[in-house]
Amino acid sequence: MIHPEIKLSHSSANNFCAKQLWYKKVGNEKFPINFYLGAGIIVDAGYEAGLKNIMTGIEGCNIRKSMEESLESIKNNLPYDEEIKLVESFDSHVQAVEAYMGWINYKPLETQYFFSLTFEGHTRPTTGYMDIVAERQNLPLIIDIKRQSKPAKKAKNDWIMQGALYALALMKQRNLTEIPKFENHLIIPDQPPVFLVTELTPEHLYMAYKLLTELNERIDKDYWPLNRTHSFCSPMWCAVYDKCHYDHFETVEKLLSKIS
Ligand code: SF4
């Protein structure tokens, strides 16, 4: 089997460029943490600490301290200018997480809930972590946290596919017959959090499965097409931009020579 080490996941199935995924998974290129990823990581550490206090009933975790430790652990992996931006905005992320804790209207059961499953016909497992598995009015609820810079009115398609995969995983693991509730909670500096409710449908669940199936087929065929027309194909969003353009280019003369 080709690339047995590559597992399927929501982020891989939704990666905007298959070639970029190849550089990450096969080419072993380093993709440094940028400001956005870094802010997401420290926010994760903060709400996890806060939810742990609720789940255990003990105020054992300090949100700010957990976020400081998280910032310390990633600081050296950021380019200098991104690190400065993250350090300067740190207090606003702490305040946003602390504010979020005041809006919690659910019973948290698990954070960073790991799952691994293999669909029939797939040659590799699908794995992932759900941010929060919870209950509201005794009904199962999956929550995915998004750190955002401004409010949004509805969930992006990509976020919905993520929720649909998590719903499938939770239904299988817990023998649920109904599709669980799914929400994106947006944690936004200097703004109240936004709770986006998505009613997941069987079509959403099918599409989440289909994206994984197509990714599985592409990996099995070792097929990793470029996506140079995408707006994220830029030095800002692709750490291998120069390398990719060096690796994948042919001169006009070469192209003309291919025409019979
Ligand atoms: S430079 Fe563009 S085509 Fe190449 S890997 Fe990056 S995003 Fe994909």
The answer to whether residue 154 scores a pLDDT higher than 90 is yes
Average per-residue pLDDT for the chain? 96
| Helix or strand holding residue 144 (H, E) | strand 139-147
Atom of ligand 1 nearest to the CA of 227: 3
The answer to whether residue 58 scores a pLDDT higher than 90 is no
| Helix or strand holding residue 148 (H, E) | none
Closest to 205 measured CA to CA, from 160, 166, 164: 164
User: Is the distance from CB of 63 to CB of 101 less than 8 angstroms?
Assistant: yes
Count CB neighbours of 143 within 10 A: 24
Q: How far, in Å, is the centroid of ligand 1 from the Cα of 73?
A: 28
Angle at 206 between CA 119 and CA 1, to 5 degrees: 30
Q: How far, in Å, is the centroid of ligand 1 from the Cα of 19?
A: 6
- Which of 29, 224, 241, 242 best tests ligand 1's pocket when mutated (most atoms within 8 Å of CB)? 241
Whether the CB of 18 sits within 6 Å of ligand 1: no
- Which of 14, 15, 17 best tests ligand 1's pocket when mutated (most atoms within 8 Å of CB)? 17
CA separation for the pair 65, 94 (Å, rounded): 10
Parse the chain into domains and list their residue ranges. 13-102, 107-224
**Furthest CA-CA distance within the chain:** 75
The answer to whether residue 1 scores a pLDDT higher than 90 is no
The predicted-structure confidence for 81-131, as pLDDT tens digits, reads as follows: 999 999 999 999 999 999 999 999 999 999 999 999 999 999 999 999 999
Confidence class for position 61, pLDDT limits 50, 70, 90: confident
Q: What is the mean pLDDT of residues 132-145?
A: 98
Residue nearest to atom 5 of ligand 1 (CA): 20
Whole-number pLDDT of residue 193: 97
CA separation for the pair 2, 175 (Å, rounded): 33
What angle, 0 to 180 degrees and rounded to 10, lies between the N-to-C axes of helices 63-74 and 35-56?
150
Atom of ligand 1 nearest to the CA of 248: 4
The pTM of the full predicted model, rounded to 2 decimals, is 0.94
CA separation for the pair 124, 117 (Å, rounded): 9
CATH of 107-224, one of 3.40.50.970, 3.40.50.1100, 3.90.320.10, 3.30.460.20: 3.90.320.10
The beta strands (E) that lie in 37-83 are given as: none
CA separation for the pair 176, 173 (Å, rounded): 8
Q: What is the mean pLDDT of residues 143-165?
A: 97
Whole-number pLDDT of residue 228: 98
Q: What is the mean pLDDT of residues 208-231?
A: 98
The answer to whether residue 76 scores a pLDDT higher than 90 is no
Q: Are strands 181-187 and 139-147 parallel, antiparallel or unpaired?
A: parallel
Q: How far, in Å, is the centroid of ligand 1 from the Cα of 125?
A: 26
Atom of ligand 1 nearest to the CA of 19: 5
Residue type, 29: E
The predicted-structure confidence for 11-37, as pLDDT tens digits, reads as follows: 999 999 999 999 999 999 999 899 999
Whether the CB of 20 sits within 6 Å of ligand 1: yes
